[in-house]
């Protein structure tokens, strides 16, 4: 009973302590709010009401009254940058950096913001120089991310690899997939300049970084073909199926051409038909369709397309069927069929696009690097109509 009584007596005591602490916090908050300039609340209110122009005017007044306020400078600089006034944002952050009494952390912050200003303004050399000065500060990870963006814009792939590895070493997460893509860019450039040996070495590094890199495998086959080793190229391209079945559509034409070169076209057709049974694709049908016409005739090609239309009904597939029908259509219906095909083809041109899974950017050709959002490997290897049918 004594213990319970003590507990009851203690409740008002602890309640009183809590009330006192709350009063102290509230009084402190009220006291601090009184020290803030009136323009601060006006600017904040304008921001909340989505009126950035008026907010900027309010914050400019505060900076005039209190030029030592670093926080207001940062807020003002960011507002200028968001409005696209990068020159004014640059001046704000340069003025901050010119202050000799600026604390080290605020100096690093101002330098980072200045680098972002330069980046937004397209002054990549100045941005790179600014970010390089931050690699030993608390803004190192952010600076390296920005440096990586710069090197990709400039297509400085070796420096991009170094920046990505630096990010990994700083604990900012894995960048292996991107590093593999950078090696692929270097390898592709080597192939353009007929340096297939250099390309092979670079692709080995790409696959070491990401053994599932479909692009590296495809390019490795291209390098082997450039060296005259068609059989090895065919073996390499066939590995794409093990990495990603949908991506076999990207190597279908290469495989068929390779099998023609080694004198085994029927083996190539049979292989591609097996891929088609596993993962239907308009691009794959296109290659198989032409090869079947060449080897087995128009009737076999029509049967192939009809079967695919049953499995995967698309307008793009219908377009191929009409193409096959026109090849042996009687003269009295040829013109009508041709008109229908032209109408279907005109409409399917809008559907025969690849679409970035991140930003939705559509393109006629397949990209490994999205021109819209700059993401790597964000394009599914299927056309938009096929993706809609699958969904």
DSSP string, 226-240: HTT-HHHHHHHHHTH
Task: Report whether 359 belongs to an annotated binding site.
Answer: yes
Where does 68-172 sit in CATH, by number?
A: 1.25.40.10
Task: Report whether 370 belongs to an annotated binding site.
Answer: yes
Predicted confidence at residue 118, as pLDDT, reads 94
Token pair of 98, please? Answer: 């010119």
Tell me which residue of 175, 229, 164, 171 sits closest to 200, measured CA to CA.
229
Q: List, in order, residues 6 or more apart from 234 with CB less than 8 Å away.
A: 221, 255, 258, 259, 262
Distance spanning both ends of the chain, measured CA to CA: 70
- φ, ψ of residue 52 to 5 degrees: the values are -60, -35
Predicted confidence at residue 6, as pLDDT, reads 40
How far, in whole angstroms, is CA 10 from its chain's centroid?
Answer: 61
Place of tokens 């591609």: 272
Is-contact 119 127, C-beta < 8 A? yes
Tell me which residue of 370, 340, 345, 344 sits closest to 358, measured CA to CA.
370
Tell me which residue of 63, 70, 61 sits closest to 96, measured CA to CA.
70
Token pair of 69, please? Answer: 């306020």
Task: Report whether 184 belongs to an annotated binding site.
Answer: no
Looking at 38-103, list the stretches that DSSP marks H as alpha helix, in order from N- to C-terminal side: 38-48, 52-65, 70-82, 86-97
How is the chain split into domains, by residue range? 68-172, 274-352, 353-390
Token pair of 243, please? Answer: 């990495």
Q: Which residues of the chain have pLDDT under 50?
A: 1-49, 51-52, 54-56, 58-67
């Amino acid at each position: 009973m004594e213990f319970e009584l003590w507990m009851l007596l203690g409740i008002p005591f602890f309640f009183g302590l809590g009330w006192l602490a709350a009063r102290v916090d509230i009084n402190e908050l009220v006291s601090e709010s009184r020290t803030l300039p009136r323009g601060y609340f006006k600017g904040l209110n304008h921001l909340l009401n989505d009126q950035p122009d008026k907010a900027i005017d309010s914050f400019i007044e505060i900076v005039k009254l209190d030029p030592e306020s670093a926080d207001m400078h940062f807020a003002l600089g960011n507002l200028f940058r968001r409005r696209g006034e990068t020159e004014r944002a640059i001046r704000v952050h340069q003025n901050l950096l010119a202050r000799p009494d600026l604390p080290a952390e605020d100096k690093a912050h101002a330098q980072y913001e200045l680098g972002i200003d330069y980046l937004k303004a397209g002054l990549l050399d100045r941005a790179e120089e600014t970010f390089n000065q931050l690699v030993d500060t608390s803004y190192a990870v952010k600076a390296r991310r920005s440096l990586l963006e710069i090197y990709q814009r400039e297509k400085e792939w070796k420096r991009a690899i170094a920046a990505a590895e630096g990010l990994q070493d700083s604990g900012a997460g894995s960048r292996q997939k991107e590093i593999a893509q950078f090696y692929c860019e270097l390898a592709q450039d080597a192939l353009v300049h007929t340096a297939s040996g250099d390309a092979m070495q670079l692709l080995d590094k790409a696959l070491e970084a990401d053994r599932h890199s479909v692009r590296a495998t495809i390019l490795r086959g291209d390098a082997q073909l450039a060296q005259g080793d068609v059989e090895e190229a065919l073996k390499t391209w066939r590995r794409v199926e093990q990495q990603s079945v949908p991506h076999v559509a990207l190597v279908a034409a290469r495989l068929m051409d390779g099998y023609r070169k080694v004198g085994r076209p029927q083996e190539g057709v049979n292989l591609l038909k097996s891929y088609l049974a596993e993962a239907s694709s308009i691009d794959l049908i296109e290659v198989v369709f032409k090869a079947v016409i060449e080897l087995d005739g128009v009737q076999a090609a029509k049967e192939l397309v009809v079967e695919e239309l049953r499995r995967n009904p698309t307008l793009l597939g219908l377009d191929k069927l009409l193409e096959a029908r026109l090849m042996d259509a009687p003269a009295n219906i040829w013109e009508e069929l041709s008109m229908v095909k032209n109408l279907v083809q005109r409409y399917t041109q809008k559907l025969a696009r690849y679409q970035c899974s991140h930003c939705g950017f559509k393109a006629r050709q397949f990209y490994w690097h999205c021109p819209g959002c700059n993401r790597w490997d964000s394009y599914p290897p299927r056309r938009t109509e096929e993706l809609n049918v699958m969904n």
